[in-house]
Amino acid sequence: MISASINGQQFSFTDGLSVLQAVRLAGFDVPTLCSDERLKPVGGCRLCLVNVHGWPHPVSSCTTSLADGMEIVAHSPELENNRRATLKFLARDYPMECVTQFPHKQFHQYLQQYGLVPNLDAEVLQAPNGNHLNGPLKDDSHPYIAIDMSRCVHCYRCVRICNEVQGQFVWQIRGHGDQIAIVPDSGTTLLESSCVSCGACVDTCPSGALEDKSLLHGGPPTSWTKTTCPYCGTGCEMQVGVRDGRLLSIRPDAASPVSHGHLCVKGRYAFDYVHASDRVTEPLLRGKNGEWQTVSWEVALTEVARQFRSILDHQGSSAVGVLGSARATNEDNYLAQKFARLVLGTNNVDCCARVCHAPTAEAMKTMLGTGAATNSFRDIEQAKAILIAGSNATENHPIVGARIKQAAINGAKLIVIDPRRIELAQFAECHLQLRPGTNVLLFNALAATIIEEDLADADFVRERVADFEHFAQFTRDFAPERVADRCDVPAELIRRAARIYATDKPAMCFHGLGMTEHVQGTEGVMCLVNLALLTGNIGKPGSGVNPLRGQNNVQGSAQMGCEPSSLTGYVPIEPNRALFEQVWQAPIPQAAGLNLLQMMDAASADQFKGLWAIGYDVLLTNANCSTTRDALRRMECVVVQDMFLNETAKEFGTVFLPVASSFGKEGTFMNAERRIQRVRRVLPPLGNSKPDWEIICQMAQAMQAPHGFQFDSAEAIWNEVRQVWKAVTGISYSRLEERGLQWPCPTESHPGTEILHESAFPKGPRAALQQIAYSPTAELVCDEFPFLLVTGRNLYHFNAGTMTQRTANASLHPHDYLDISPNDATGLQIEQGEPITICSRYGEATLIARFNSGIKRGQLFCTFHDPRLFVNEVTSPYRDSRVKTPEYKVTAVQVLPAKR
């Protein structure tokens, strides 16, 4: 502890504070303009000067470390006069009207506090050419951000936050002296720059030089509510501003342990879908003429109950099923699987984890005993090396991506394993640009190198790992020199990556769908776990195996039991049946359930007739669209529960149930690092829409379920989850009020678990290495289909585009592009921007060509966010051999001029 006096009073502080932090903790108000807790202090604005006894001159408190015994004077007539003079100088040329328009801005508050009125109280100074000192820069080009540099006070926080937090380096300082200006790297407009629209510069700007357009047009919000982002599995917390019943602004939550006061373009700006004109807010029933008719909730639910009962009576419970949703809360998903099991009497329940990280859960559960990330995002800053495989994190998990980028800038060694030269590859020590579909070969080669070069962690292997000798023998066939050609990665590069991962410890690894969406998806992840076990990179800070889960609550939806063979907690039905039956007071069905893909297969065989799809566009999202279409066509009842009429509803829906957005309900999400976080109601549900859990409870009532669905709040549902899943028993809503908690958290006094497997695995002291032979996909290129197509997401859009396509993100990224190497494009005489058709053995789609030198010859990449293009017409029917996740990452195609 440090003892110091401030303004004559004595205080005690913890070590490591600046004088400014100490002064503020002591309750004194010291103005600052260049300071932001997210940034390194620079002491530039001089407003925070304080006197320290014995020191000859005032010092900037933000850059001075607090020392024991310091006697600090933070306020004196002289210091206050200096602050007033500094503010007066900054206000000399400042537009008056914005001070009254935005009284909440930090600079404006200081002007009022010090009794200064810009342009009236102060002398107006002009540059020699008559322009404003900062240059007359007004830029209205960006859909979300308004720029008026006449309001700039030269704190350079925009420049610094773009560099130090986002790592994008967009804002540049140009000119000298009075002619200095801050401009985007394009030299022209922000829209033409390399800006990724995270809004961090706007968030930190204290003067309104950079401002959100939604606030300029809508005025300041009248209420702010903390909740969790509805998009990716990073789980950033946010403050949501509302005025006149409309969601007007989203700002990052400064104290979020996940995002550290930062958001990406989706979380920060893509919220207009909430008020989109085509939001469905009344239940709909498909009439005899095929048209949708608006009906009451009672009519809609009675009709669903009638249709399900009819199928149950005629075909039995194996012919119906439920899909939970990664966009719905834990509470919603818990009830969805409970409804399937208790009301429909079937284990046919699944969720969209099936099409993304089911292989991860299976691999990690099998090898380590828990199907979830071993470590936390806070470990990123502790890792000496970071291996990232099959994940374009800066686009798909942008806050994690930004943190990894900063870690690399600050010295961590980065290994990127990805067929494309993604953004993180620019910061990498080595980029292994492998051929799609060869993950198992490559990871076995990394393991072979570690063993051959004696880089394994002998102590860890001896104490915590089984089957080393057999595994070592097995890897001999995978020496880098033997597999390099098939992987299309030089052997020496494989060896270099292995050396870094094994010796620059602790080493952390992240992976994404580039690892899982293959016929050997589960096995690929097992190979990744092998590496962590061999090198002892598990159970320690800065290490571990960490899947980047795609959707906000995909971990939660599977963990809640939306999985045919698992109950809540991702535990197998046997031997856990007794506990659940005791709490539920009802039997769990004995028959094995079908997963999403098996439900489609059964429907194609006329053995599955009724589906309730919650928050998941089956038709648009499943691979190999024609088989999905055939399956849906054969069903008698397709209940779609969503915010919008998605493609499944449009073509095959029989009943549509409108849901509240995540801003219209209470509950919890679970992020990719096992953190349970609160979702809060910011607005009432729009129109007659309802939270998913309320709909499920009412549906149970419509089907005359005797008990088990009488909940009056999301919290009551969560409290039942705490009864059946001991790992979250200690996580109450009241504990979540302040901050999220990571499971396991078995008691209310437990702090939550940041790192798994520190001393043992759930299955015992040792985890066994797995010998995974390479079994290549049957989806091969040939003369007719010579290109390998990989599909994935981009920064601006999210999965089926249901939400982001209804925001101005659609103007920032208007198309799904087909990325092609310039050499291939030249060979095929394709022009940049030209529509071209890709044909596979299964279907075709037409996209806009975009040259991308980060793509190897013979490969293509495209996103799948635009429902008009239906990219999944092209993807193959092949699936992961163990959990049936579709192989989205490898499809052989040919490229043709667009069919007109």
- Token pair of 157, please? 């926080």
At closest approach, how far in Å is the CB of 847 from ligand SF4?
Answer: 24
At closest approach, how far in Å is the CB of 775 from ligand SF4?
Answer: 34
Contact status, residue 131 vs residue 184, Cβ threshold 8 Å: no
Side-chain-side CA neighbours of 93 within 13 Å: the count stands at 17
Contact status, residue 446 vs residue 533, Cβ threshold 8 Å: no
Cα 482 to chain centroid distance, Å, stands at: 37
Among 232, 408, 635, 679, binds ligand SF4 (CB under 6 A): 232
Q: Report the residue number, 234 or 821, with the smaller CB distance to ligand SF4.
A: 234
Q: Report the residue number, 259 or 348, with the smaller CB distance to ligand SF4.
A: 259
Q: Report the residue number, 234 or 689, with the smaller CB distance to ligand SF4.
A: 234
Q: Report the residue number, 229 or 534, with the smaller CB distance to ligand SF4.
A: 229
Asked if residue 399 binds ligand SF4 (CB under 6 A), the reply is yes
Contact status, residue 383 vs residue 412, Cβ threshold 8 Å: yes
Q: Interaction with ligand SF4 in 466-525: which residues (CB under 6 A)?
A: none
At closest approach, how far in Å is the CB of 718 from ligand SF4?
Answer: 21
Asked if residue 794 binds ligand SF4 (CB under 6 A), the reply is no
What residues form DSSP beta bridges with 678? 668
Q: Report the residue number, 232 or 558, with the smaller CB distance to ligand SF4.
A: 232
Distance CA 203, CA 261 (A): 9
Distance CA 151, CA 95 (A): 7
Asked if residue 231 binds ligand SF4 (CB under 6 A), the reply is yes
Distance CA 709, CA 336 (A): 11
Among 70, 229, 280, 892, binds ligand SF4 (CB under 6 A): 229
At closest approach, how far in Å is the CB of 252 from ligand SF4?
Answer: 8
Asked if residue 553 binds ligand SF4 (CB under 6 A), the reply is no
Q: Report the residue number, 235 or 708, with the smaller CB distance to ligand SF4.
A: 235
Among 235, 261, 324, 691, binds ligand SF4 (CB under 6 A): 235
At closest approach, how far in Å is the CB of 408 from ligand SF4?
Answer: 18
At closest approach, how far in Å is the CB of 550 from ligand SF4?
Answer: 10
What burial letters (b/e) apply to 605-643, b meaning 16+ CB within 10 Å? eeebbbbbbbbbbbbbbbbbbebbbebbebbbbbbbbbb
Asked if residue 38 binds ligand SF4 (CB under 6 A), the reply is no
At closest approach, how far in Å is the CB of 267 from ligand SF4?
Answer: 2
- Token pair of 360, please? 């991860």
Cα 311 to Cα 50, 424, 563, distances in angstroms: 77, 51, 22
Contact status, residue 408 vs residue 401, Cβ threshold 8 Å: no
Q: Report the residue number, 64 or 621, with the smaller CB distance to ligand SF4.
A: 621
How many of the chain's residues bind ligand SF4 (CB under 6 A)? 14
Intra-chain end-to-end CA distance of the chain, in Å: 74
Q: Report the residue number, 43 or 398, with the smaller CB distance to ligand SF4.
A: 398
**Which ranges constitute the DSSP H helices of 686-844?**
692-702, 714-724, 733-736, 809-812, 822-827
Distance CA 792, CA 889 (A): 8
Q: Interaction with ligand SF4 in 630-669: which residues (CB under 6 A)?
A: none
At closest approach, how far in Å is the CB of 480 from ligand SF4?
Answer: 35
In 470-582, where do the E strands start and end?
507-511, 545-547, 566-567, 571-572
At closest approach, how far in Å is the CB of 331 from ligand SF4?
Answer: 19
Contact status, residue 694 vs residue 297, Cβ threshold 8 Å: no
- Residue 772: helix, strand or coil by DSSP? coil
Q: Report the residue number, 83 or 403, with the smaller CB distance to ligand SF4.
A: 403
Please give the angle made by the CA atoms of 390, 394 and 397, to the nearest 5 degrees.
80
At closest approach, how far in Å is the CB of 231 from ligand SF4?
Answer: 3
Q: Report the residue number, 235 or 371, with the smaller CB distance to ligand SF4.
A: 235
Q: Pick the stretch among 78-86, 283-291, 393-401, 685-693 that binds ligand SF4 (CB under 6 A).
A: 393-401
Asked if residue 551 binds ligand SF4 (CB under 6 A), the reply is no
- Token pair of 49, please? 């000067």
Asked if residue 686 binds ligand SF4 (CB under 6 A), the reply is no
Binding mask 694-733 vs ligand SF4 (x if CB under 6 A, - otherwise)? ----------------------------------------
Asked if residue 397 binds ligand SF4 (CB under 6 A), the reply is yes
At closest approach, how far in Å is the CB of 229 from ligand SF4?
Answer: 3
Contact status, residue 785 vs residue 893, Cβ threshold 8 Å: yes
Side-chain-side CA neighbours of 551 within 13 Å: the count stands at 28
Q: Pick the stretch among 37-45, 124-132, 394-402, 711-719 that binds ligand SF4 (CB under 6 A).
A: 394-402
At closest approach, how far in Å is the CB of 270 from ligand SF4?
Answer: 8
Q: Pick the stretch among 179-187, 397-405, 600-608, 695-703 that binds ligand SF4 (CB under 6 A).
A: 397-405
At closest approach, how far in Å is the CB of 794 from ligand SF4?
Answer: 12
Contact status, residue 819 vs residue 833, Cβ threshold 8 Å: no
At closest approach, how far in Å is the CB of 685 from ligand SF4?
Answer: 21
Q: Report the residue number, 86 or 259, with the smaller CB distance to ligand SF4.
A: 259
Q: Interaction with ligand SF4 in 119-158: which residues (CB under 6 A)?
A: none
Q: Report the residue number, 135 or 664, with the smaller CB distance to ligand SF4.
A: 664
Q: Interaction with ligand SF4 in 255-294: which residues (CB under 6 A)?
A: 259, 263-264, 266-267
Asked if residue 236 binds ligand SF4 (CB under 6 A), the reply is yes
Distance CA 594, CA 417 (A): 34
Contact status, residue 532 vs residue 504, Cβ threshold 8 Å: no
Cα 37 to chain centroid distance, Å, stands at: 23
For the beta sheet containing 385-389, the strands, ordered from the edge strand earlier in sequence to the opposite edge, are 430-432, 413-417, 385-389, 507-511, 545-547
User: Dihedral sign, CA of 864, 867, 869, 873?
Assistant: positive
At closest approach, how far in Å is the CB of 483 from ligand SF4?
Answer: 35
Phi, psi of 666 (to 5 degrees): -100, 160
At closest approach, how far in Å is the CB of 214 from ligand SF4?
Answer: 16
- Residue 476: helix, strand or coil by DSSP? helix
Q: Report the residue number, 41 or 235, with the smaller CB distance to ligand SF4.
A: 235
Taking CB atoms, the residue at the shortest distance from ligand SF4 is 267
At closest approach, how far in Å is the CB of 286 from ligand SF4?
Answer: 34
Q: Report the residue number, 4 or 232, with the smaller CB distance to ligand SF4.
A: 232
Distance CA 121, CA 480 (A): 73
Q: Pick the stretch among 395-403, 562-570, 643-651, 865-873 that binds ligand SF4 (CB under 6 A).
A: 395-403
Contact status, residue 513 vs residue 863, Cβ threshold 8 Å: no
Asked if residue 91 binds ligand SF4 (CB under 6 A), the reply is no
Asked if residue 234 binds ligand SF4 (CB under 6 A), the reply is yes
Q: Pick the stretch among 182-190, 227-235, 349-357, 807-815 that binds ligand SF4 (CB under 6 A).
A: 227-235
Binding mask 307-346 vs ligand SF4 (x if CB under 6 A, - otherwise)? ----------------------------------------
- Pairing state of beta strands 210-212 and 292-294? unpaired
Nearest to 639 by CA among 254, 383, 416, 325: 325
- Pairing state of beta strands 817-820 and 859-863? antiparallel
Site residues (vs ligand SF4, CB under 6 A): 229, 231-232, 234-236, 259, 263-264, 266-267, 397-399
